[in-house]
Structure formats: C-alpha cells, structure tokens
A and B are shown apart, each in its own frame.
Chain A
Amino acid sequence: MSTGHAHPLHLPGTSPLHRARPQCKLAAAVLFVLAVVATPREAFWAFGVYAAALAVLARVAGLPLATLARRLVIELPFLAFALFLPLVGQGERVQVLGVPLAADGLWAAWNIVVKGTLGVATSVILAATTPVPELLRGLERLRLPAAFTSVAGFMVRYLDVITDEVRRMRIARLSRGYDPRWIWQARAVAATAGTLFIRSYERGERVYLAMVSRGYAGSMPVLQDLAATRGQWLAALSVPAAAALVAATAWLVRP
C-alpha cells in the first residue's frame, strides 16, 4: 500500500498566509495574476515590483526562495515554446551575439516568460500554503457547484488507490513475462486500461453504498464554517489591489 505524501506541494506551517481563508487566497491569487497579465510588457519596473511582492509573500509563508525556484521548473516546457518566437518571428531584426532575431518575437517571448513565471510563482505560493482539501472548500465557498468539488475531492482521495492498482497490474503483467515495447503489442496495455476502468467503476459503486449506509442523501454535509470576515477579505485583496494599481500606473506612464 502506498504511504507516500499525496500533496507534495503543501508546506505545513502557521504563517498568516497559511491561516488565511482558502477562498480569500484563491480569489487574491487569480486577481493578482490578472493584474500581472494586464500589465504592458514594456513596463520592466512593474514586473520587478510584482516579483518583489511575491518574494515578500514567500518569505512570510516560510517558503525558501530556492524551493520556490525549484518548483518553477514545471513551466520549462512552455518556455521552450517562447524561445522559438524570436527565431521564427517576422519584421524588424536585431543582432544578438551575431544571431539575427525578430524584435517583435523577442518582445513576445519576454512577455510570455515574465508573465508565465510570475503566474506559476503565485500558484506555487498558494499551493504551498493551502492543503488540497482546503482548496476544495475554498472553491466551494466561491460558489463552485458542489458536484465539481466533490468529484475533485474523490479524485484526490482515490488517486493513490488507483495508482497502486495500476502498479500491481503492471507487476502482474511483468511477472508473466509480458513487457510490451512496440505499438502492436499494446493489446495487454489496452486490456489493463479496460480492467482498471471496470474496477474503478465498481469501486465507485461500493463507495456509494458505504455513503448511503451512513445516511448520505445527495449532498455532502458542510462540516466547518469557513466564512471569512470582512477584515480577512480586505487583507487578502489588498495584494491584488496594489498589483492592479501598479498595472494601471504602468499603462499611464507608458512612453
């Protein structure tokens, strides 16, 4: 049975960021990213301010900047795409180390890299300070339909169970000398997928049975009152509000 840590992104702690209501954090994170995306790409100073703000937040949350940087690696595949833009872009060329690059493409690449990185850093901080169940409850508070949040909750809960089942089925296959390497050998893999589907479906039925047996009547009970006070909302939203101010200033002082 798997005993691994299921939420490796979460960093337990008691900082103000950890204690903030999940719905406030979610709304603040989304609005902050919107402000970043709305900033004109020429306003280098504005991105510096955003980065500094995130660094301060990470510091408050007790998230070491090195860890934050390591978790940013997830965006690398997307950045690879951005690197292509200056090479294939049309129009005016500039020489960089003897390589002719499209000026427009350079701007586009910069735009993607800086906004992408700031966006990913925001979600890394959110994920580090909010355990998954709380995130789901936050989404529920933000009026996401309960059907979505309970499906997501079950997914999180059963991911390990199903992964474990896949692992056991693979070992059973290998133990009988079957290790497909070519596409025409994919039959057993397809059969495994089919079996997994049936097993998960049947597990779903058994889980439902267990729920019904404990009085489930169509809606999950709300166990904790997570309502946020006006003060908590104000504190959380002050961050994206400041970011919006920076974005607006950047537009106004644009040359």
Chain B
Amino acid sequence: MTPEPLPALVVDGVAYAYPDGHQALFGVSFQVRRGERVALLGPNGAGKTTLVLQCNGVLLPGAGRVTVAGLPVVTEHLKEIRRRVGIVFQDPDDQLFMPTVAEDVAFGPANLGLRGPELETRVKAALAAVGMEDHAGRPPHHLSFGQRRRVAVATVLAMEPELLILDEPSSNLDPASRRELAEIVTGLDVTILMVTHDLPYALQLCPRALIMNGGTITADGPTADLLADTDLLAANRLELPFGFDPRALRDR
C-alpha cells in the first residue's frame, strides 16, 4: 500500500488582523488534497483574498499555520513557497508588467534561477498550455482582456506550481473567453483553489467547494450539494443567477 501523499494545502486555525486592527480571518481550517479542484465561495469582504495571500506568505498569520505540500509557510521558506503556490490575480494588468508576453512569462522562472534553453522551454510550454504561443513577442497591452487573463495564468504555470490559486478568474470575461478559460483550467494537471462568487463557474470547474463568510469557513462539501441548499446560500449572501435551478443540480 502506498502512503497517502501529503495534502497540497493545509490551513490550520489561521487568524489574521491587518495592521490597522481590522480582523479579517477568525480561525480558518481546511485541507486541499493533491490534484483536487476546490472553489472558495463567499460574498465580498468575506476574507477570501486575505486567505489567499496567507497561502504564499505575502501575509503571515497572527495565529495558526499554513502548510504547502508539507512545507510550512514561514519567512525562511518564502522562495520555495512562492514557487509551489502560483496566484493568478484578478486584474491581469496588475500581473503583466513586463514589456512582452514572453518576458512576462519568463519573469517567475528566471527569479527561480532558470536561464537559457531551459527557461525558453518553460515559457513555450506555459504559453502553449493556455493557447497563447503565437503572441509571445507582443506587448501585453495589445492583447484583449481574455487573452491577458490567459497569459496571466501562463505566467504562473511557468513556475510549475503545486497549487494554482485563481482569484475571480471569470470576472470581466465575455462568455466565449469564459468557456475557453474553463477548458484550459480543466485540462491542467495541477491542484486548484478557485476564489469566486460566480457559482455556476464553480460548479462547472470544481467538484468541491468551501463557503467563507465573516472570516470563517461556514460550509465545506460537494459543490452541487452546497449550491442546492438555498438556505445555506442565503445565510452567506450568495445567490445563483436568475433562472438557474438548484434542484436540477442534484441530478448531475
């Protein structure tokens, strides 16, 4: 019998208050197994983004601990943690800051010390994974919004992370870009934590979901079950779009 591999992410009793005294997280605990795709749902201001920044050590918890594939998120390990955890931020313009797409994708792996042909292979593979290899030499601001989001995903994939965190991946995307991104995400062989309040997108991409509200996890279960529980959603300020029938979800 092979031993169970280490979970990709363990968040254990994490509490965090911002320097101005505003407390955003009150003892958050959950685990993500390797290869899982998990949605993190919650209304605005629930603490989702704060939690995400705990996962790569941009913020360090006031209490509790975060472990990524067995490695605790502490100052000594930050470099390795940031290789293991890739975050795709909400606004691709924040993420794409280099003069060309290829240089931007190379930024992360180059910081890890990769150079020459090895770096080139990484960049090519990451761009191919999001279908953007033909745009390598272009400046990011010449791309459409959907293309920029895909390149933002590539910049993180190029670091070959253990855990890919997507912050509101579907925001501002038109339906076609949204579908294209979904196809890319489902095709990736990597553990994914997807932060969103786009419930149908969560259902489409993630078999499991966590609901977060007021700085704590209020529910954890199969996405279809959670979305079918109207009272649970209402209690957490989550709503399905008009015409979306939660009862139909159970039969999927």
**Which residues of A are at the interface with B, using a C-beta cutoff of 8 A?**
1-3, 5-6, 132-133, 136, 153-154, 156-158, 160-161, 203, 206-207, 209-217, 220-221, 223
Q: Are A157 and B140 in contact (CB under 8 A)?
A: yes
Could you pull out 7 A-B pairs where Cβ atoms are within 8 angstroms? A153-B98, A161-B141, A212-B58, A214-B107, A214-B108, A221-B111, A223-B110
The 5 closest A-B pairs by CB, nearest first: A221-B110, A133-B99, A215-B111, A214-B108, A206-B94
Question: In this assembly, does B83 line the interface, its C-beta being within 8 Å of a C-beta of chain A?
Answer: yes
Q: Are A203 and B94 in contact (CB under 8 A)?
A: yes
Interface string of B56-92 (1 = CB under 8 A from A): 1010000000000000000000010011011101010
B86 → A minimal CB distance (Å): 8
The residue in chain B whose Cβ has the minimal distance to the Cβ of A137 is B99
Q: Are A214 and B156 in contact (CB under 8 A)?
A: yes
Bound CA–CA A210/B111 (angstroms): 13
Q: Are B144 and A214 in contact (CB under 8 A)?
A: no
Contacts of B106 in A (CB 8 A): 221, 223
Q: Are A1 and B99 in contact (CB under 8 A)?
A: no
**Also in contact, A210 and B141, with CB within 8 A (given A215-B112, A223-B106):** no
Bound CA–CA A207/B140 (angstroms): 14
Q: Are B107 and A213 in contact (CB under 8 A)?
A: no
A168 → B minimal CB distance (Å): 13
| Contact with B56, one of A3, A5, A213 (Cβ below 8 angstroms) | A213
Question: In this assembly, does B26 line the interface, its C-beta being within 8 Å of a C-beta of chain A?
Answer: no
Q: Are A207 and B87 in contact (CB under 8 A)?
A: no
Bound CA–CA A221/B133 (angstroms): 22
Q: Are B159 and A6 in contact (CB under 8 A)?
A: no
Find the residue from A5, A133, A156, A209 having the highest chain B CB count within 10 A.
Answer: A209
Contacts of B103 in A (CB 8 A): 133, 223
A201 → B minimal CB distance (Å): 13
B145 → A minimal CB distance (Å): 6
Q: Are A153 and B159 in contact (CB under 8 A)?
A: no
Question: In this assembly, does B237 line the interface, its C-beta being within 8 Å of a C-beta of chain A?
Answer: no
**Also in contact, A211 and B97, with CB within 8 A (given A160-B141, A216-B111, A217-B111):** yes
Q: Which of B130-176 contact A (CB under 8 A)?
A: 139-142, 144-145, 155-156, 159
**Also in contact, A214 and B94, with CB within 8 A (given A2-B141, A206-B89, A223-B110):** no
Contacts of B142 in A (CB 8 A): 3, 5-6
Known: A213-B82, A214-B107, A214-B159. 11 other contacts (CB 8 A): A1-B144, A136-B99, A157-B99, A161-B93, A207-B97, A213-B56, A213-B89, A214-B82, A215-B111, A216-B107, A221-B111
Find the residue from B53, B58, B93 having the highest chain A CB count within 10 A.
Answer: B93
Question: In this assembly, does B100 line the interface, its C-beta being within 8 Å of a C-beta of chain A?
Answer: yes
Question: In this assembly, does B54 line the interface, its C-beta being within 8 Å of a C-beta of chain A?
Answer: no
B54 → A minimal CB distance (Å): 12
A76 → B minimal CB distance (Å): 30
Contacts of B112 in A (CB 8 A): 215
The residue in chain A whose Cβ has the minimal distance to the Cβ of B155 is A214
Question: In this assembly, does B95 line the interface, its C-beta being within 8 Å of a C-beta of chain A?
Answer: yes
The residue in chain A whose Cβ has the minimal distance to the Cβ of B142 is A3
The residue in chain B whose Cβ has the minimal distance to the Cβ of A221 is B110
Bound CA–CA A161/B159 (angstroms): 26
Q: Are B141 and A6 in contact (CB under 8 A)?
A: yes
| Contact with A210, one of B83, B95, B100 (Cβ below 8 angstroms) | B95
Contacts of A217 in B (CB 8 A): 79, 111
Bound CA–CA A220/B106 (angstroms): 11
| Contact with B89, one of A160, A209, A216 (Cβ below 8 angstroms) | A209
Contacts of A158 in B (CB 8 A): 93, 97
Contacts of B141 in A (CB 8 A): 2, 6, 157, 160-161
The residue in chain A whose Cβ has the minimal distance to the Cβ of B112 is A215
Contacts of A207 in B (CB 8 A): 94-95, 97
Contacts of A5 in B (CB 8 A): 142
Contacts of A133 in B (CB 8 A): 99-100, 103, 139
The residue in chain B whose Cβ has the minimal distance to the Cβ of A220 is B107
Find the residue from A158, A209, A213 having the highest chain B CB count within 10 A.
Answer: A213
The residue in chain A whose Cβ has the minimal distance to the Cβ of B145 is A1
Bound CA–CA A217/B108 (angstroms): 11
The residue in chain B whose Cβ has the minimal distance to the Cβ of A7 is B139
Bound CA–CA A105/B64 (angstroms): 79
The residue in chain A whose Cβ has the minimal distance to the Cβ of B53 is A209
B18 → A minimal CB distance (Å): 14
